[in-house]
């Protein structure tokens, strides 16, 4: 009779997969279904996108806000906030992040925009704006799905959020007006309100971050860390994926018809492009294409990360 050694890599992987919920096990299928559902809903109900976009609070799309907050809260509940101080002092983590996100990233996007879209000024400008806006929402869920370091992700997202408030308008002015002038290229002015940027950060990061911190602090104080980690976190965890799927449906429903029915979305680049150039502009189109590509690409990267993790873990 043949027996299976549970310590072999194949048996270990099978055991892990067997413990996954149906939602986790077939997540790529659910994400593809959510994308298709959103596109079909946007096409079948022409007024759906306009109706969803009309539900706003102080200029922020309420359906998108609800989806993102539900998505981010369970992930931030898992963060061990007592480790953040140690992570913050790690220059090997912070310095590369600042350099890549705020020096290399915008410069690369500027170069790509002028190399491939030099004769399409609207799309070129939209691409440059996308390169200036760091993600503060989806990155948290992708990191969690890839089993990344939650504490490091929380610190980097917070750091990039601060830089976004301080540097976005300045970098937009530099890459759209100053640098093109130095190089003898066409110049564009960008109207980006510091308050609009700060408001986006406060709503989409500040609210779930504060809620996650208070939940852990009060939960551990009332019932202890063991109960919190083994009982509470597993119960609330699936809500993040439900929030992700809901957000994808709404996002694709809003942006599936000619990509012009987008309002103040969670992507700062989209909000700025629409506010400055208009909802039907090429700049807005360049901005909304980003999330439509981001979802399938990052799902693929998550699974590549997990595959590499299995191969390198003894």
Grade residue 2 by pLDDT with cuts at 50, 70 and 90.
Answer: very low
- What is the mean predicted confidence (pLDDT) over 211-218? 93
Cα–Cα nearest to 248, from 45, 23, 31? 31
Q: How far apart are CA 113 and CA 126, in angstroms?
A: 9
Per-residue pLDDT of 220-273, as tens digits, reads: 999 999 999 899 988 998 888 888 888 888 777 765 546 433 333 345 666 666
Q: How many beta carbons lie within 10 A of that of residue 190, not counting itself?
A: 23
Give the residue, 141 or 74, on which the prediction is more confident: 74
Say yes or no to pLDDT of 6 above 60: no
Question: Tens digits of per-residue pLDDT, 137-192?
Answer: 677 878 888 888 888 888 888 888 888 878 888 888 899 989 999 999 998 877 76
When pLDDT is cut at 50, 70 and 90, the band that residue 1 belongs to is: very low
Q: 106, 132 in Cβ contact below 8 A? A: yes
Q: Which domains are present in the chain?
A: 33-309 (1.20.1530.20)
What long-range pairs does 44-47 form, CB within 8 A, spacing at least 24?
Answer: 46/257
**What is the distance, to the nearest Å, from the Cα of residue 248 to the centroid of all Cα atoms in its chain?**
11
The whole-number pLDDT of residue 274 equals 61
Q: Quick check: 26 pLDDT over 90?
A: no
pLDDT per residue over 81-139, tens digit each? 888 888 888 888 888 988 998 999 999 999 999 999 999 888 898 888 888 877 766 77
How far is residue 13's CA from residue 7's CA, in Å, rounded to a whole number? 10
pLDDT category, 292, cuts 50, 70, 90? low
**Residue 260: per-residue pLDDT:** 38
Q: What is the pLDDT of residue 5?
A: 46
Question: What pLDDT is recorded for position 21?
Answer: 64
Q: State yes or no: pLDDT of 15 exceeds 90.
A: no
Would you state the structure tokens that stand for residue 295, as one six-digit string?
A: 């979802």
The whole-number pLDDT of residue 288 equals 63
pLDDT at 114: 95
| Average pLDDT of the residues in 206-217 | 90
Higher pLDDT, 132 or 11: 132
Phi, psi of 61, rounded to the nearest 5 degrees:
-65, 115
């Amino acid at each position: 009779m043949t027996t299976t050694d549970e310590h072999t890599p194949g048996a270990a992987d099978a055991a892990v997969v067997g413990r996954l919920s149906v939602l986790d096990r077939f997540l790529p299928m659910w994400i593809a279904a959510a994308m298709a559902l959103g596109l079909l809903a946007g096409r079948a109900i022409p007024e759906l996108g306009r109706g969803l976009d009309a539900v706003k609070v102080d200029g922020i799309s309420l359906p998108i806000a609800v989806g993102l907050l539900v998505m981010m809260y369970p992930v931030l509940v898992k963060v061990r906030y007592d480790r953040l101080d140690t992570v913050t002092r790690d220059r090997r983590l912070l310095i590369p992040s600042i350099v890549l996100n705020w020096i290399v990233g915008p410069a690369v996007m500027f170069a790509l925009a002028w190399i491939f879209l030099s004769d399409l000024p609207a799309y070129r400008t939209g691409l440059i704006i996308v390169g200036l806006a760091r993600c503060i929402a989806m990155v948290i869920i992708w990191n969690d799905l890839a089993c990344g370091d939650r504490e490091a992700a929380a610190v980097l997202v917070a750091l990039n959020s601060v830089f976004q408030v301080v540097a976005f308008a300045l970098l937009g002015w530099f890459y759209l007006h100053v640098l093109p002038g130095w190089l003898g290229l066409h110049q564009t002015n960008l109207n980006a309100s510091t308050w609009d940027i700060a408001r986006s950060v406060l709503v989409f990061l500040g609210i779930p971050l504060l809620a996650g911190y208070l939940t852990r602090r009060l939960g551990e104080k009332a019932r202890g860390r063991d109960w919190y980690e083994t009982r509470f976190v597993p119960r609330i965890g699936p809500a993040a994926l439900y929030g992700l799927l809901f957000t994808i449906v709404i996002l694709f429903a809003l942006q599936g018809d000619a990509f012009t029915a987008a309002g103040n979305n969670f992507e700062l680049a989209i909000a700025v492009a629409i506010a400055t150039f208009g909802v039907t502009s090429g700049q807005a189109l360049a901005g909304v294409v980003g999330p439509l590509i981001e979802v399938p690409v990052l799902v693929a990267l998550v699974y590549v990360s997990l595959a590499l993790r299995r191969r390198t873990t003894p």
